[in-house]
Amino acid sequence: MADEIDYEIIGSEMQIVEIELDPGEAVQAEAGAMAYMGPGIQMQTSMGNEGGGLLGGLKKGLKRALTGESFFITSFTHKGSGKGHVAFAAPYPGKIIPLDLAKFGGSILCQKDAFLCAARGVEVELAFTRKLGAGLFGGEGFILQRLRGNGLAFIHIGGTVIRKDLAPGETYKVDTGCVAAFTESVTYDITWSKDFKNALFGGEGVVLATLTGPGTVYMQSLPFSRLADRIFAASAYGRNRDEQTGIGGSGVLGGLLGGDRSF
């Protein structure tokens, strides 16, 4: 059973989630996510397998590393009296989403590195896409995160959050990078663009993710990969590279083929 924790999400774009703990309660988080903690909070970093031995801890650490998280996980336990507080910060502009896993059948699948923190008792596991095509072309590779348990977990996604509750058989086609999380009842696959010209010059991907209900889907408006591409393009290195290649070089052509309309 996961600890029952209270929380408050602070801010609009660069958010912080502040967790309120009763004596003896604990929250676990990705290493480096903590923003501040109050009196009585004790921090302990481990491989997240207390009582399971070194081998079990190594396995859990490696699985987390494969999903984009740190090899280690940090636990924050309230050892004092009264109410204790600890807060965790979003790594880039976006939203922190609280997920009550008990309401999603005890687990949910997320994009790599989405996990921010969770009540003690929630497990962060390795998951794989069900189909080869979805793994090869799904934007996030084969590997997803599975958050399992019956308590609160918090994920961070980029930009604005869009939640869709899909009816049985209802399908959404989504840019692969915009798929943030979905319940395990949702069927996840990829669809090739039927019009290659639109994919080549329209700025959209050659493949789209198809999500078919029943179940819940969370989408994000700003995948981190898209944000990183824009920052790189605006950087001195990105500008210099395009200047060196010239109008006939691969820099301009690659930008056009990639959907960059700034030319």
Work out the pLDDT band at 151, boundaries 50, 70, 90.
very high
* Mean per-residue pLDDT over the chain, rounded: 78
- Asked if pLDDT for residue 107 goes beyond 50, the answer is yes
**246 within some domain:** no
| Start-end of H helices in 77-177 | 132-137
**70 within some domain:** yes
pLDDT digits (tens, 9 = 90+) for 84-93: 999 999 888 8
Q: Kindly give the interhelix angle for 250-257 and 236-245, rounded to the nearest 10 degrees.
A: 110
- Asked if pLDDT for residue 263 goes beyond 70, the answer is no
**257 within some domain:** no
Is the model more confident about 140 or about 9? Answer: 9
Least confident of 36-50, 103-117, 171-185, 186-200: 186-200
What is the per-residue pLDDT for 136? 47
- Asked if pLDDT for residue 70 goes beyond 80, the answer is no
What is the per-residue pLDDT for 59? 53
Is the model more confident about 203 or about 78? Answer: 78
What is the per-residue pLDDT for 50? 52
Is the model more confident about 8 or about 61? Answer: 8
| Total domains in the fold of the chain | 1
Bridge partners of 30? 73
pLDDT digits (tens, 9 = 90+) for 201-250: 555 556 778 899 999 999 999 887 777 777 777 776 655 655 554 444 44
**200 within some domain:** yes
Bridge partners of 123? 148
Residue 150 belongs to a domain with what CATH number? 3.60.160.10
**259 within some domain:** no
Please give the backbone phi and psi of residue 117, each rounded to the nearest 5 degrees, phi first. Answer: -165, 170
CA distance readout (Å), 1 to 32, 92, 152: 25, 31, 11
Range of the domain at 228: 6-237
Average pLDDT in the 167-194 region? 87
Beta carbons within 10 angstroms of residue 102's beta carbon: 12
**258 within some domain:** no
Q: How far apart are CA 132 and CA 124, in angstroms?
A: 23
Contact 218, 97 (CB under 8 A): yes
Work out the pLDDT band at 26, boundaries 50, 70, 90.
very high
Contact 212, 187 (CB under 8 A): yes
Q: How far apart are CA 102 and CA 124, in angstroms?
A: 15
Strands 215-220 and 179-182: antiparallel
The pTM is what?
Answer: 0.75
- Asked if pLDDT for residue 153 goes beyond 50, the answer is yes
**169 within some domain:** yes
**249 within some domain:** no
DSSP state of 160: -
What is the per-residue pLDDT for 189? 82
Average pLDDT in the 28-43 region? 92
